[in-house]
Amino acid sequence: MKSGYTVVKAIRHGTKILGSADEPQLEAEVLLAHYLNVSRSWIAGHPEEYLSEPILASYNNSLRRRTSGEPLPYLLGYWEFFGISFAVDKRALIPRPETEIIVEHSISVAGNNPNIRIVDVGTGCGTIAIALALNLPNALLFATDISQDALSLARTNSIRHAVNNRIKFIQTDLLTSTGKFDIICANLPYLTTQETCTLVVGRHEPRLALDGGPSGLNIIRQMIATAGNHLKDGGSLLMEFGNSSNKILEMANFYFGSANCKLIPDYAGRPRMLKVTT
């Protein structure tokens, strides 16, 4: 049964409801296109098409959830990372574009080396490991996470992209009982406990993947302190972090001694990734 809402009326309604969002019309179009199972270009080309009652109800429900702060990717059930679509839900963090620099540098470091061993620590929904599997067909890939729920989602994504037989998923704390690697990738919790409790991200995304302790450095420090035991000679650690870039570099120089430790900026020019080459 058709509702009294056309596409253009629904978009105007959604834009008004989502007025506090950074791009309310864009989000309204994305949500409506999702429930209609069409592209945004179809939306633009069919403004007078009437919506069915079930579609309108689903759309309005998603608008209510979005205004309550629920992230758009969780409403859609997918999000793009490194040009790849990943299933996402509350079991793992939503992929962020700044994390793509880990993938880019890993591909560069790996080069054409056959059978290179790479591990993605704190894999979440599997973005880094799966992106590397798709771009490095000869790499031996591993992905760890302390959360069984996150690993389950990562496995689902690996099956979706037909690389499930290329990645070994391991439930463990960081690198415990995993062996040695040529490249260690890590995007670990780096918010402070206070930030996790007060920022919007902490209300909807898993706190286990956000909370880095009182200073935000607890898990990062543990990673830096133990990563050397899991790197082969000439290996590289590539790890994302938030603030405290000077402290991160100090820790790396302390634990890695004569290794080459440097900070890599993100696309906005802000120090975002620690790169250690032994």
Give the model confidence (pLDDT) of 216-256 as tens digits. Answer: 999 999 999 999 999 999 999 999 999 889 999 999 999 99
- My answer on whether 237 and 170 are in the same domain is yes
- My answer on whether 113 and 238 are in the same domain is yes
- My answer on whether 31 and 115 are in the same domain is no
**How many C-beta neighbours within 10 Å does residue 249 have?**
17
pTM, two decimals, is 0.94
- My answer on whether 32 and 159 are in the same domain is no
Domains: count for the chain: 2
Tell me if 63 is assigned to some domain: yes
Cβ-based burial of 89 (10 A; exposed 0-12, middle 13-18, buried ≥19): middle
Phi first, then psi: give them for residue 84, nearest 5 degrees.
-120, 135
Domain that holds residue 215: 90-277
**How many C-beta neighbours within 10 Å does residue 139 have?**
23
Tell me if 64 is assigned to some domain: yes
| b/e map 119-134, b = 16+ CB within 10 Å | bbbbbbbbbbbbbbbb
Q: What is the dihedral of CA 161, 163, 164, 169, to 10 degrees?
A: -110
- My answer on whether 241 and 186 are in the same domain is yes
Instruction: Give the Cα separation of 139 and 117 in Å (integer).
Output: 6
Helix (H), strand (E) at residue 180:
none
Tell me if 83 is assigned to some domain: no
- My answer on whether 213 and 169 are in the same domain is yes
- My answer on whether 149 and 104 are in the same domain is yes
Tell me if 179 is assigned to some domain: yes
**In the chain, % of residues over pLDDT 90:** 94
Closest CA to 155 of 180, 120, 184: 120
| b/e map 3-21, b = 16+ CB within 10 Å | bebbbebbbebbbebbeeb
Q: What is the CATH number of the domain that holds 257?
A: 3.40.50.150
Tell me if 243 is assigned to some domain: yes
pLDDT of amino acid 272: 96
Give the three-class secondary structure for 237: strand
Closest CA to 273 of 239, 243, 247: 239
- My answer on whether 270 and 150 are in the same domain is yes
CB 152 within 8 A of CB 172: no
From first to last of its 278 residues, the chain has per-residue pLDDT tens of 788 899 999 999 999 999 999 999 999 999 999 999 999 999 999 999 999 999 999 999 999 999 999 999 999 999 999 999 999 999 999 999 999 999 999 999 999 898 899 999 999 999 999 999 999 999 999 999 999 999 999 999 999 999 999 999 999 999 999 999 999 999 999 999 999 999 989 999 999 999 999 999 999 999 999 999 999 999 999 999 998 899 999 999 999 998 999 999 998 999 999 999 99
Tell me if 75 is assigned to some domain: no
Instruction: Give the Cα separation of 192 and 223 in Å (integer).
Output: 16
Tell me if 84 is assigned to some domain: no
Q: What is the CATH number of the domain that holds 48?
A: 1.10.8.10
Give the three-class secondary structure for 112: coil
Tell me if 81 is assigned to some domain: no
- My answer on whether 245 and 205 are in the same domain is yes
Instruction: Give the Cα separation of 90 and 189 in Å (integer).
Output: 16
pLDDT of amino acid 244: 86
- My answer on whether 56 and 193 are in the same domain is no
Closest CA to 90 of 236, 184, 208: 208
